[in-house]
Structure 1
């Protein structure tokens, strides 16, 4: 199979080119780094692990103060400034609303109805029988309820008229009793004076 054979001519040329590549120059000598082991022995304070704090502006300020304290060993003033709440107090911005230009009103010309449209309006309407029966049953129930309400309304009217008549009779009786009392009062007590 000729597909997997190596081509010797091209491979030989590559090997010759690889041998001709020049060597890299040597790196320059750099000064040595100072020894930091003495500094580690001098620090007497143990390394403390920083606590995790909430991620809001007040928590950020508090965590910065703790980090400064851990690094410098001095306590910072923990005062809360007005800038701490500046982000939270900014009012919401209204979204930009693009005004839509008004369109000119366009009226379509009215055309007279064609014969097909006129015929369509007078065609019969087909309804399913079960829906028709259901509708007529509901219609009958509504009629019954209306007649019952009218009957009850008539009864209430009659009762109201009776009550008004009775109240009128009572008022008349009270007037008669008052007149009799006034007559007796005037007859008996007028002679005493």
Structure 2
């Protein structure tokens, strides 16, 4: 694993721990020589994440759609900035550039990006490790809802098991490095094409 895409908020939230963990994750990625791929903003925990990597000589690639360049106030000190035409191309490019996926605290956009990646994994389109850094239990309720989806028959246990969760960044990265993709049955059979 040489690169990680991190999805997170362009706000800082109501607890300094969110920004502190984002900065710490950026620092850890740089120290472990893992390229950070993220949404290119210099504000919110996105900005803290990038700064953590940049302050420790890390490689940081920002990917942003043209219409968000002003709104999200893109970071001008990145190793590389990629501008896409739209949000869909942004996610595709982030996916192409990464070998692992992490979600930090964030809002609707963070969840949308993360769930698209885990859906692609469920469909067999990739087998990258997918993790949640659960800072101060931020995603406890989401994880409980995912468990409910399994219990109520909407998500298979093996798809739930693809998700790696830790409240410590070094523990999460260790899980991701040791991740062995499951051989899941394909959703579409050849005779259904």
- TM-score range relative to shorter protein: under 0.3
Structure number with greater CO (CA < 8 Å, separation at least 6) is 2
